[in-house]
């Protein structure tokens, strides 16, 4: 306890000895006013960061310049009737190449029209930095191809260790080619999920994973959305046949882990298309 808070104390007590250990460099003080402040002499408080964080150690072990895999899904809807030319599609293809040279990869353009009343086109882009994706999406939004549209939904996330498998990495981060169909949705667990017995939680996740392996044609992209938005995770599934996505989502309902799902909407689903096909979608 600081001597200034001890009633009747006229001197600052010297630190208590432990065994034969002698206190080092301990000033002998004679009155309360001479008690050293935390920012004086021997009693300075270290401002150096502590290195007992496993998260920080993990980043340090990743090397001097670790690569992060950020991803962004942005959905547009038609808000105005605009005549778009084939030149607008060609310019968009050139923009995709330009963004790739800058490090932002457009994984796909998707026709999400008629799946919901508030969506027509989705753009999926990924890259090594959040600010890069922000800048890339601004360029996409300003393109002639998307003139007369407005953003109705946008969500960013980043690859971190997945809860169901420590060695899982998203398909887009591994460089796996995109499939024809995709669905993306947010995911929020119950508060009890994170504090339950790890063995119990692990069993639920293993059972969930076993069912998921029955759909080898489906690519999984599970990424962390903590602090990016109102959600904890973003999940994007890809398949060449839409029916595979339907059956997998239905099949995975039959697991104990479902009891700990609190939120997993909205869903946005679409087919991968070219920039030229966007002309027809937005007509």
Per DSSP (E only), the strands in the chain are 70-78, 105-111, 121-127, 149-158, 181-189, 219-224, 233-239, 261-263, 268-273
- pLDDT interval class at 44 (50, 70, 90): low
DSSP, residue by residue, 52-113: --HHHHHHHHT-SS----EEEEEEEEE-S-----HHHHHHHHHHHHHHHHHT-EEEEEEE-B
Exactly one of 185, 194, 254, 268 is catalytic; name it.
185
| Band of residue 10 on the pLDDT scale cut at 50, 70, 90 | very low
Between 75 and 67, where is the model more confident? Answer: 75
Concerning whether 185 is annotated as a catalytic residue, the answer is: yes
Q: Is 208 annotated as a binding residue?
A: yes
pLDDT bin (cut points 50, 70, 90) of residue 164 is low
Which of the four pLDDT bands, split at 50, 70 and 90, describes residue 22? very low
Is pLDDT at 211 greater than 80 in this prediction?
yes
pLDDT computed for residue 210 by the predictor: 87
Domain 70-281: CATH class, spelled out = alpha beta
Question: pTM here?
Answer: 0.76
Percentage of the chain with pLDDT > 90? 69
Look at residue 161 in the predicted model and tell me its pLDDT: 73
Domain borders along the chain are 70-281
Unique residue bearing structure tokens 């001479």 = 34
pLDDT of residue 47: 56
Average model confidence (pLDDT) for the chain?
84
**Contact (Cβ atoms closer than 8 angstroms) between residue 79 and residue 149:** yes
The tokens 């890809």 sit on which residue?
Answer: 238
């Amino acid at each position: 306890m600081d001597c200034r808070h001890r009633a009747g104390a006229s001197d600052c007590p010297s630190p208590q000895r432990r065994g034969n250990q002698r206190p080092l460099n301990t000033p002998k003080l004679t009155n309360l006013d001479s008690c050293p402040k935390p920012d004086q002499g021997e009693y300075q408080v270290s401002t150096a960061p502590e290195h007992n964080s496993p998260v920080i150690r993990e980043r340090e072990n990743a090397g001097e310049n670790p690569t992060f895999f950020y991803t962004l899904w942005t959905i547009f809807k038609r808000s105005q009737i605009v005549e778009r030319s084939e030149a607008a599609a060609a310019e968009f293809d050139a923009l995709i190449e330009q963004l790739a040279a800058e490090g932002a990869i457009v994984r796909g353009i998707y026709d999400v029209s008629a799946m919901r009343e508030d969506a027509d086109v989705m753009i999926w882009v990924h890259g090594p930095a959040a600010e890069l994706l922000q800048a890339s999406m601004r360029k996409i939004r300003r393109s002639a191809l998307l003139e007369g549209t407005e953003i109705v939904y946008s969500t960013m996330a980043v690859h971190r260790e997945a809860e169901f498998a420590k060695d899982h990495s998203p398909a887009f981060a591994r460089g796996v080619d995109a499939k024809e169909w995709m669905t993306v949705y947010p995911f929020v667990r119950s508060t009890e999920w994170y504090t339950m017995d790890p063995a119990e939680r692990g069993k639920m996740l293993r059972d969930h994973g076993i069912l998921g392996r029955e759909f080898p044609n489906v690519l999984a992209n599970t990424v962390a959305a903590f602090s990016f938005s109102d959600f904890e995770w973003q999940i994007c599934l890809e398949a060449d046949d839409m029916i595979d996505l339907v059956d997998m989502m239905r099949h995975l309902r039959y697991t104990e882990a479902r009891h700990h799902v609190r939120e997993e909407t909205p869903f946005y689903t679409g087919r991968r298309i070219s920039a030229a096909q966007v002309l027809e979608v937005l007509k």
